[in-house]
Amino acid sequence: MGRLDNKVAIITGAASGMGLAAVQLFAKEGAKVVATDIAVEQLEKAISTLEGDIITFALDVSSEQQWKDVSEQAKVEFGKIDILINNAGVSVHKGLLDEDLEGWNRAINLNLTSVFLGMKTVIPYMQQNNKGSIVNCVSLAAIIGSADNGAAAYSAAKGGVRALSKHAAINYAKDNIRVNSIYPGAILTGAAQKYGVTSAEQLGNAFKNTIPLPPHAGEAIDIANGYLYLASDESKFVTGEELIIDGGWSTH
């Protein structure tokens, strides 16, 4: 028995990092997975190496029509939608005075509007089942001002996701739809690897004075495990909650 047997999950930002780790883990635990990303060639290549019931779709998370297309295809292929993991996001490190309106709007669209569109599109499918679990990836930047590495628009967007998640949790509990959030700390992902960081230990060297728990940085699977718990029926009495996975960063 898998922890997600007979469940259908849509996962965004699935071509690498935390999203890809979630796809692999969810499929291993018995879910039928709809893996999505705007980088569709990278997505298909990554998914081709995995085992399980997985289908891939191109998805620009800022496009309402693409959200509708993916959700309808998920229903056609698998008959329902049980789980939505809003994992996709992007950060541009520009401070408030350095950011321009174009960059601000892009960050809001990709990090906040995307979550709005995902929930707006998928919740009606969950209402048909009278059950569902939504997990939104937020950020410590929504809680700690110094955690955004100077990314003003990203920080604002993630703060919006935090509030929107609470709104959805209280308003759709009556439909047995749970909405929870994950707050990653310093995690080794593809974004970090682009800068030559190849291990959690190496990344952790930069956070020894910030994150108390060795190796002072986490891996994508640490976040995927959090997604799994909140997506599964093990958390059936949990909604509106914030699961912080940061090695103790936020304890300061």
**Active site amino acids:** 154
pLDDT at residue number 195: 63
Mean pLDDT of the chain: 94
Q: How is residue 92 written in tokens?
A: 């541009």
What lies within 8 Å, CB to CB, of 2 at 6+ separation is 28, 29, 30, 31
pLDDT digits (tens, 9 = 90+) for 66-98: 999 999 999 999 999 999 999 999 988 899 999
pLDDT digits (tens, 9 = 90+) for 99-128: 999 999 999 999 999 999 999 999 999 999
For 8-245, CATH number?
3.40.50.720
Per domain, the residue ranges of the chain are 8-245
Q: Which residue in this structure is represented by tokens 């979550």? A: 115
What is the pTM (predicted TM-score) of this model? 0.96
Query: Which residues are 10's β-sheet partners?
Result: 34, 84
- Give the residue among 14, 122, 16 at the shortest CA–CA distance from 59: 14
